[in-house]
Amino acid sequence: MATYTDRVEKSVTHYEPGPLPSDPESLGIYIISELKRLGDILLNQASFRLERSNAVPPRPRAGDIRYFDGTNADPLGAGVEGLYVFKKGSHWVNLLALDDGTCEISGVSGDLALEIDNNVSNSANLKIRCDAGSSRADFYVDNQVHITLKGQRVGILDTSPSYTLDVNGDGRFTSNLIAGGSLTVGDGDAEDTYLNFDGNAQDFRIGIDDGTDKLEIGAGTAHGTTAAITIDSSADMTLGGSIACADEVISRPRFTDYAETVNVLGDLGGGTDTIDLTAGNVVTATVSTSTQTFTFTNPSATGKACSFTLILTNGGSQTVNWPSSVDWAGGSAPSLTSSGIDVLTFTTVDAGTIWYGFAAGADMK
């Protein structure tokens, strides 16, 4: 009698017993053959192997799962080999399309989705959904659309992106943001739009104040306050602060209604006092009590002209000593009014090595 020693081979997943042999002597061989077939089935079931089908069942039931070859068995007419499930009272749906190493979910109609449902408390659920008749794909987290792909455009919290990247909300870049073309701030709506620069001790802004229709550059993040520069629609500019030029050139200016800073020294009361040009180029002072000596400091560098006007009250009431670097008109210092106002002008082009001085007006009344 034959003994079965062959290893069980993978074969099929469906078992139907073969016909009984007519010869009783062959019954042992028949039993061994059937046991081998059953072993194949059990091994295939244990490894979850689906038999590759080359025919679509004529009367499928809801929930039927088949591995169709995509050629002879092609329920969707797409010629795609893969795993299919039959939807109740409807049609076959391709769960996994296996073609050139790709994995695909497809169907002939209806919405398609891939969902990861995390049942652990405080854990997020992820879903990727493509609705029937829609040209977009949505990425959901906990049933809220976060990312939309549509027509080579990406929307973040925007299901109808109009740009390559459309973000409905605030964005943050912890590294560089590089724009190869123009950068547009605002969308034409009646609202303030601006760029904020978040400093450690002080914030600054550049933007449009929609209430005044002016561009502002200023300190802080609120429009209308602490504006250093404002520019209107006629390109006219208003300064809200001072300009420190640091001895740099301003070319071809035209001044209208300008003012000069006055350095008010007050009643000097005798002694030595310094006229500091950084405090103003118009100086007022009153001589009294005793001998008065002046020194001049901080003129412009050599090669640049520097002038100042001194409006002196009661200069002739006391002896006034001038710096030795002053060259007076005619070689002598002018006589000053003892009770009245004299106006004197001083100019240097060599950083004060020589000051050219003269009386612009005596005993002004």
Per-residue pLDDT at 108? 54
Q: In what order do the strands lie in the sheet with 282-286?
A: 262-267, 282-286, 306-313, 341-348, 355-364, 326-328
Please state, as a whole number, how many other Cβ atoms lie within 10 Å of the Cβ of residue 279.
Answer: 16
Domain boundaries, the chain: 19-49, 112-167, 193-239, 262-364
pTM equals: 0.55
Structure tokens at 175: 């590294």
Q: Are 319 and 281 in contact (CB under 8 A)?
A: no
365 residues of the chain, pLDDT tens digit each: 333 344 444 445 567 788 888 888 888 888 888 888 888 777 766 666 678 889 999 888 888 888 888 899 998 888 888 888 888 777 888 777 665 555 566 655 556 667 777 666 777 788 888 877 788 899 988 888 999 999 899 999 999 999 999 999 988 888 998 888 888 888 777 788 888 888 889 999 999 888 888 999 999 888 878 889 999 999 999 988 888 888 888 899 998 999 999 999 999 999 999 999 999 999 999 999 999 999 999 999 999 999 999 999 999 999 999 999 999 999 999 999 999 999 999 999 999 999 999 999 999 99
Per-residue pLDDT at 3? 39
With CA atoms as reference, report the closest residue to 192 among 233, 229, 234, 223: 223
Q: Are 206 and 217 in contact (CB under 8 A)?
A: yes
Residue 139: HSE in the Cβ half-sphere, 13 Å Cα cutoff: 10
Per-residue pLDDT at 307? 98
Separation between Cα atoms, residue 81 and residue 69, nearest integer Å = 5
